[in-house]
Amino acid sequence: MVIVGAGLAAWTTVRELRKLDSAVPIQLVTRDHGDFYAKPTLSNAFGQKRSPDHLVTTAAATMAQNLGITLCAHTTVTSIDAATQTLTVEHGGKKEDLPYRQLVLATGANPIRIPMRGDAAQAIQSVNHLDDFRRFHAELTALPVRVGGQPHRVLVIGAGLIGCEFANDLAQAGYAVHVVDPASGPMAALLPPAVGEQLRRALEALGVVWHWGVTVQTLQGAATGAHRYVGTLSDGTSVEADAVLSAVGLRADTALAILAGLSCDRGVLVDAQLQTSAPGVYALGDCAQYASAGGRTLPYVMPIMNAARALAATLSGTPTDLVFPLMPVAIKTPALPITVAAPHPDTQGVWTQDPATEGLLDGGAWRFVDADGAQRGFVLTGKQCSKRMEWSKATAP
């Protein structure tokens, strides 16, 4: 059995498999080091003063030894031949063929990069895995101490979930943060407007400066001034910064699957048992587009955990359909803790606040109610997040 990738989806699949089958040979192929870490920690490490090395919970070699697998680190899969069940891999400039009986694609997703003009456009960073964070961390920690102890400024492009988490984290760590987004408020696609307004105020209280309804058009190196770069926004405003982070979303990494002729849309299409259009080839995690989720991609931790358990059962000889439970997401914005159980995007309905939480200063609760009056999602903030289980039970699947 061969697994391509070494993120949470890949390693969790290996762990779940080993619970069911201690003997099946497994090879894990990854183009990076393969060390195990929790991806959600990338967006709250600065505030906790954790370095990239501190985020690694288990070294790849130790994981491989403990789980009894063969690790092929720093190895790139260049092609898949589904007809002959063979991978072509490259390591150290040498190519070789690697046969498989069952193949699991856990190739993750790539950050979306918006085209940008300017001589400093290539300086924009994105953080989607540990090596990305290592580069971003190195850039910020290498900045010289400014005269008078003034904070360095980070320009964050995007006020979605990841952008807001990083804005909170960087502000908590003492950086001056400016956030640019074409929407009218934070996480506009995920939160009801009232919650977005709560979050806006909470992060503003930390010093975050918002720029709404605009985009970054150009990024130039600053010849003079207090900061390294100058971003020009679509309304003509200039924002100086010492580092720029793009957080405008992820796109499933389907390049390898498309090259192999597998059916893809927004992700690699998989059926209820996570099989792709090719027999013996499966996919899960950020690269997969789940039939079990109504044709959605689900770039969160809980979907990965559920998918890995179901896939492990199928791979070990017990075909198992993946059924996603309600999976609330805890958003890491300590300035305003938020728990979201988002309704299916196709569900028609309205957000309403629980009257019992109106006017509370320590949080609130909102439910998404469909046309039949059924609760299909919810948002909890502040101390109301403690009611996660209670509200989950009241939410229809």
User: For residue 293, what is the domain's CATH number?
Assistant: 3.50.50.60
- Which of 200, 228, 246 represents a domain boundary (last residue)? 246
| Same structural domain, 288 and 235 | no
The per-residue pLDDT for 149 is: 79
Residues 322 and 273: beta-carbon distance below 8 Å: yes
The per-residue pLDDT for 71 is: 98
Same domain, 85 and 169: no
Residues 220 and 264 grouped into a single domain: no
What tokens does 374 get? 């059924």
Q: Are residues 58 and 120 in the same domain?
A: no
3-class secondary-structure state, position 12? helix
Same domain for 102 and 119, yes or no, is no
Structural domain boundaries, residue 365: 337-393
The answer to whether position 332 is within a domain reads no
Asked whether residue 342 is domain-assigned, the answer is yes
High-pLDDT (> 70) share of the chain, %: 99
On whether both 39 and 82 belong to a single domain, the answer is yes
Q: Looking at the structure, do residues 26 and 75 belong to the same domain, yes or no?
A: yes
Q: In 3D, which of 139, 223, 124 has the Cα closest to residue 175?
A: 139
Quote the strand ranges of 61-215, DSSP E: 70-72, 76-81, 86-91, 94-99, 103-105, 109-111, 153-157, 176-181, 209-212
pLDDT, tens digit, for every residue of 35-72?
999 999 999 999 999 999 999 999 999 999 999 999 99
Asked if 120 and 235 sit in the same domain, the reply is yes
Tally of domains within the chain: 3
In a domain, 307, yes or no: yes
CATH code, 357 = 3.30.390.120
pLDDT at 361: 80
Within-domain flag for 213: yes
Question: Do 118 and 241 have their domain in common?
Answer: yes
Average pLDDT over residues 270-280: 98
pLDDT greater than 90 at residue 227: no
Give domain status of residue 23, yes or no: yes
